[in-house]
Chain A
């Protein structure tokens, strides 16, 4: 693959470059420069600023979004809007009245067309987001904050779980339904890393996060606590039900194998779990401390 082909959205970048180049060239070739005294500086700065901002939005869209229908439509719409704003800015320096007196009035039409295209793009974006939300089921609850995401597993971090537990605790006063929090710990994770390296270890953490997510209910929430520990929130769930789900997750972990690139099995993972039922106003850090000490006791007993 040539270096040029590796560029993401190559066609859209080319389209943007050509459109801007053609717009500026045509305006300069066919327009007549206005006398300096007639140029309104503040107007030119304002309209130039709008053109630059639309260009920044466009570049941000192309850099951040994956290829697809939504990105293409957003880019087309933003390119058309940018052309309009660019013409509006050039209008401050160039006049086209010698070609046709009403030619300058047409500069808003690309923006209109762009906004129509953008409206379709927004609708498709909404649909896309609805599907994406489905994939985040069991990983997110009522609240989105990307800074709380754990880089290794893609799950939310302990900070996010703290907030969720605090929310559940605040609901305890309104309802009599208790909730449970469980902590899972990968057994012999250090030995695994020692044998296969940190990269494989992080892959194991990612897989474990997915495995836990797969074996809990839609209303539950999985987060990574830290190290080889995961926390699961079971809202409005009695201890017995939570324990059944925990046992299922642990059984599933026993049957799950890690594979190397050449499909040789490298390890069967086992999980230790602890669970607490929260029925009174408690700080989320205390819940975590209880879970950690329970896990420690279980491991020592084993």
Chain B
């Protein structure tokens, strides 16, 4: 497995503000990689270093095998970028902007351009100043998808789209991957990440706090188990089991949380009390995200 993006110990400060504090990131070729983190975590800074707009203070970044600061011309022919807050030229139409950006990148794929305009339901004859935020984002998305590239760098590309268009976006990104493309998708919309991403990286305060597939991350995180049992359970006994916590016993109901590796052991013990009903909820990405966020904030403070 080759890497489309490899970032190691990346550092960047703006004045007294540390934006990146030794960030690691690895995006494999052909995957959709979710890039998560609270506001100000350093997601946009990372992407802007990868685009050669900012110069890193330390560490290394490799993009499609090249140096993002020096190999601008060769690298940018192979990638497209969609910012989160798209600014258009007020007196150019959406269609003009799509053509210009795609041509600067190396050429317009007419068939894709036409199909993307149709799928995103975008009117290309309106002037930049009259587009809404969502429509400006569509212009940037169509421009990015109308040229033939290997890598998409997307910085919160759907924050202004309606749910229907978000669905179109997810389809389009999946098709792009099926064609062999790689995507780095920074996002706040966790359901979107959950649905399209093969792997995710969660960063906070300029460092990577977790990377892996969603299954990996779930495994590391705690599952909530609710059971109805025939005989009363000794709460102290359950709490004593490895990996089990938050035990709550009321009458015949037991609720607790358990780490991924210790789920089997817990079920064995509960089984001896005669289980009549059982639910086990793996953490949603949102819980994962909050969980990672909380643990690191307590760890750092």
User: Bound pair: A and B?
Assistant: no
- Seen from chain A, the residues whose Cβ lies within 8 Å of a Cβ on chain B are none
- Seen from chain B, the residues whose Cβ lies within 8 Å of a Cβ on chain A are none
